[in-house]
Amino acid sequence: MSSFSVESSTGSGALEKIGMVLQDGAKSEISYEILEVLGYGTYGCIYLAKVRSTVSSSTEYRAIKCLSKNGLSKTQLLIQSQEIDIHLSLSSPKNGQHPNIVDMSSVIETKDSLYLVMEYCSGGDLFDAITSQHAAANDSGMGFVSMPGSQSLDVHSDRSVLQAMVQIISALAHSHAHQVFHRDLKPENILMAGDGTLKLADFGLATKDRISSDFGCGSSFYMAPEQQPQVLPGQRSRRPYVPAKSDVWALGIIFLNLRFGRNPWKVSRLDSDATFEAYAHDPRVLDGMFPELTAPALHFLHRVLCVDPSQRADCAEALELIRGLDAIVRRDAEEAMSDCESQTSNSRQLSNASSSIMSSDDEVQSHDGDADSMFHMEGDFYHASRNVPATATWSQLTASDKSWSKLADEDDDDMDFSSPVDFSTAAVSASSSSFSDDSSSLMAQAGFVKLSDLFKSPPRLHSNMVMA
């Protein structure tokens, strides 16, 4: 599927490639005209291109990822080649093209660049959908209550979120079945087609290795504990992890992203996140963080967010569990939230009206006491964490007895779901005993430490050594 082509225009800058026409050497009747820049990535730029065909008059578009070959080390060139081979293997008709994985149809190689021709997903990425819809809900005071609308994805609808999760897990299960492990699963790497179908994308950090020592590979907010760039006290050598299990961990974080617009913690590291540390000691902490969740939804989360990777669900179990869910949010919790939001809306109106009523001596007349109390309740409800110090302990954070999904961080950066982390030689290994069936040999190779070893004195991070 690879072909060699000569670019019809010159220039190394991303914008300078606009207007370029690329000939698909494997299909002489097809060429691609680059129209505009869709986005930028760590290793390249993504363009929107129009398909030009000598045999068809239909208008079609493709997304083309441009990877520069200039100035790259042999290791970086190998990573590029691996990404292409892995993605093409999932797009091969022989392996069964999956409807929830972005299809790569061709690779065009020039002297200086590689152009990966993929299907165009006009709906953007899942991160934008999550942040925009939850922000709109907060502005309207709807909270997590289901909202009416004709959107293909409604993050406030249990049914819509469950359908989305089925698509994501199905794509991941298909990848795992062909021994492809993503290692950077996050909303930014899940695209939306024009019809609303979700598509798993960006296999730049994927691997076919069933065990891996690439610690810190991925995005920090979604990394499993055993994948984090961190070391245990006194640990001299690194112990590999199982990428299939670390992919499953990310599913739990995405699930909470979708329905509540938040992460349960910043990062799954004991030395730097008090919330995760509390959860690692007692998983029931999650129940108190999201009391709105139904029992089956909590069970799903406990299975995919199991700190011990040897006990964590695999993709098949995760898919079975998510398909068995009828609801995410308890009906009584949703009704209570709806009543609260209704009171909040009324209190806002009363407060606004009262503030405009002035007495003759320019003093504000007091308004209804009940409305005043509701107004302050609303303020406390949405801004409880404004009085919580940045170094608050777990007991301080939970002392307000309010739903964790409604506690906003002081700097409002909780919506910034992911932060890329470079390859590092420093990381922590999570615990494990043994996988069942054929996975037991993997855990034996990985040699994970016991869970109790994770709760020693906080480890010190080593300096990161970024792969060239």
Question: What is the tally of helices (H) and strands (E) in the chain?
Answer: 12, 11
Q: How many CA atoms within 13 Å lie on the side-chain side of 312?
A: 29
296: tokens are 């089956």
| Binding site, annotated residues for ATP | 65
C-beta contacts of 28-32 below 8 A and 24+ residues apart: 29/53, 29/54, 29/55, 32/62, 32/64, 32/108, 32/115, 32/117
184 in catalytic set: yes
CA atoms of 226 and 450, how far apart (whole Å): 12
> Quick one: residue 68, left, alpha or beta (phi over 0 = left, psi -120 to 50 = alpha)?
beta
Opening angle at CA 159, ends 155 and 160, nearest 5: 40
Q: How many CA atoms within 13 Å lie on the side-chain side of 293?
A: 22
Of 125, 154, 158, 184, which is the active-site residue?
Answer: 184
Residue type, 113: S
Do the Cβ atoms of 3 and 25 come closer than 8 Å? yes
H or E stretch at 22: strand 21-23
Cβ neighbors of 36 (< 8 A, separation 6 or more) are 18, 47, 48
Q: Considering only CA atoms, which of 58, 455, 390 is closest in space to residue 232?
A: 455
H helical segments located in 64-124: 74-91
193: tokens are 């087609």
Chain centroid offset of residue 338 CA: 28
CA atoms of 108 and 104, how far apart (whole Å): 11
**If 0-12 CB within 10 Å is exposed, 13-18 middle and 19+ buried, where does residue 103 land?**
middle
- For 27, phi then psi, to 5°, come to -135, 95
Q: What are the residue numbers of the active site?
A: 184
